[in-house]
């Protein structure tokens, strides 16, 4: 799993990478001990899915990016999930939502989305590797 830090107010952590593991309950439960973890899975077959875990307790699974309805929580409106098109980076609002759900405030997210940025690789425990 790749690990990087971003400037801002610390909170929990957000996990995203290729594959479904960021959405796996066991992985999120393991990394959320004593903190909050939000996993984001960009499914190549369609849909973006999130999972919030607080101190090992799964508090919810959700599909992100759906058009907002009047009855939806304020976060759906705040992060403008319906916004698409040129000039709006793919998945940026889902990542911003995940950071907010994990209690993080990011002041500059460019480092997090730069594929050339220096990262530390941390192996998952054997029982969590798939």
Please write down the HEC assignment for all residues of the chain.
Answer: CEECCCCEECCCEEEECCCCHHHCHHHHHHHCCCCEEEEEEECCCCCEEEEEEECCEEEEEEEECCCCCCCCCHHHHHCCCCCCCCCCCCCHHHHHHHHHHCCCEECCCHHHHCCCCCCEECCCCHHHCC
Dist. CA 96–CA 48, nearest whole Å: 13
Instruction: Kindly report, residue by residue over 45-87, the tens digit of the pLDDT.
Output: 888 888 999 999 999 888 887 666 666 666 666 666 556 666 6
Q: Which residues contact 74 (CB under 8 A, 6 or more apart)?
A: none
Query: Which of 43-52, 86-95, 102-111 holds the top average pLDDT?
Result: 43-52
Q: Which residues contact 127 (CB under 8 A, 6 or more apart)?
A: none
User: In the prediction, which pLDDT does 36 show?
Assistant: 92
Single out the residue of 82, 103, 77, 97 nearest to residue 12, CA to CA: 103
Dist. CA 102–CA 70, nearest whole Å: 24
User: In the prediction, which pLDDT does 110 show?
Assistant: 73
Give the mean pLDDT of 14-22.
76
Residue 128 above 80 pLDDT? Answer: no
Global pTM reads 0.79
Residue 23 above 60 pLDDT? Answer: yes
Cα separations in angstroms, 46 against 43, 65, 75, 93: 5, 11, 21, 16
């Amino acid at each position: 799993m790749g690990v990087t830090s971003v400037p801002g107010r610390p909170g929990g952590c957000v996990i995203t990478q290729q594959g479904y593991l960021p959405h796996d309950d066991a992985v999120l439960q393991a990394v959320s001990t004593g903190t909050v973890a939000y996993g984001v899975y960009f499914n190549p077959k369609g849909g973006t899915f999130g999972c919030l875990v607080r101190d090992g307790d799964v508090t919810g699974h959700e599909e992100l990016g759906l058009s907002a309805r009047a009855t939806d929580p304020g976060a759906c409106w705040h992060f403008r999930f319906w916004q698409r098109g040129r000039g709006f980076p793919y998945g940026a609002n889902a990542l911003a939502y995940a950071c907010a759900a994990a209690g993080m405030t990011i002041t500059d997210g460019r480092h997090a989305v730069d594929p050339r940025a220096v990262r530390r690789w941390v192996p998952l425990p054997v029982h969590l590797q798939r």
